[in-house]
Amino acid sequence: PSHSRETAWTVLASTLLVIVLLLIFITIMYSKMNTLTKTLLTPLRALLDDMNVLAVLELAHIDEDMPATSTRPEPESRELVELHSSFRSLRNAIRSWSKYVPPTVVQRLFSAGLEAQIGVSKVYATILFCDLIGFEEGCLNLSPQEVLLVLATALSTVSEVIDRYRGTLLEFIGDEVLAVFNAPNRVKHHVYAGVMAALDIHMAVGAFPRFVSKSG
């Protein structure tokens, strides 16, 4: 009986030891997996979301969706830090490019994966040219900062109206705006859209106290 009792205790001790070792192994594996998730999978998922945002050129919101690396609560691998840095450089380059090229053109090239090429295409389009009458006289007694604020407010209003009617803003020339309808984005009734945009711009900018718009 004593031998059987010792054998039972040995088996029980061995079983408990195996269970303890398994628990330790599971704890270590969980810790390693948790660390892997925080340092690799979570940052990669965030980077993927940022790339999806950039893919549709939601540049106005990408800074809000993508926190700076220095503010991330968990450490990242060196490779991921470099990857985030390269992505931010790409994002800033595209953002800067979109300031000098119509956003619709940028989005079309970016989404289609096309390379920009010099060329022409035949299309019927409606051209809108807008000039802010009295802008120079109204800004004579303003500081440069005030002039910039007034100009930015007016041009932002004009740009919003053009976007509303699916026009493409080509360029700002001082207080003048040049836009086109039906190119590159197709607008079925582009003449109507251009006329309505001109009327809305005249009403919107005409409400400003210092100048009114002249568009055609």
179-208 confidence digits (pLDDT tens) = 999 988 889 999 999 999 999 998 888 776
The residue with greater pLDDT, 30 or 201, is 201
pLDDT at 71: 47
Q: Which tokens go with 46?
A: 């965030």
- Tell me the whole-structure pTM to 2 decimals: 0.54
Give the count of alpha carbons within 13 A of 136, CB side only: 3
Q: Which tokens go with 162?
A: 């053009």
Backbone region of residue 115 per phi and psi (left: phi > 0; alpha: psi in -120 to 50; beta: other values): beta
CA distances from 119 to 116, 122, 211 (A): 9, 10, 38
Residues 6+ apart with CB under 8 A from 208: 150, 153, 154
Report the CATH fold assignment for 126-215. Answer: Alpha-Beta Plaits (3.30.70)
Is the predicted pLDDT of residue 46 greater than 50, yes or no?
A: yes
CA distances from 215 to 34, 62, 161, 197, 201 (A): 61, 34, 13, 9, 8
Per residue in 130-175, pLDDT (tens digit) is 888 877 777 788 888 888 888 888 888 898 999 899 998 888 888 8
pLDDT category, 76, cuts 50, 70, 90?
A: low
- The amino acid at residue 194 is G
Q: Which tokens go with 75?
A: 């450490």
Mark out the alpha helices in the chain (DSSP H runs). Answer: 2-36, 42-55, 59-65, 78-100, 103-112, 135-138, 144-164, 190-206
What is the average per-residue pLDDT within 14-35? 84
The span from the CA of 205 to the CA of 216, in Å, is 14
pLDDT at 7: 79
pLDDT at 185: 82
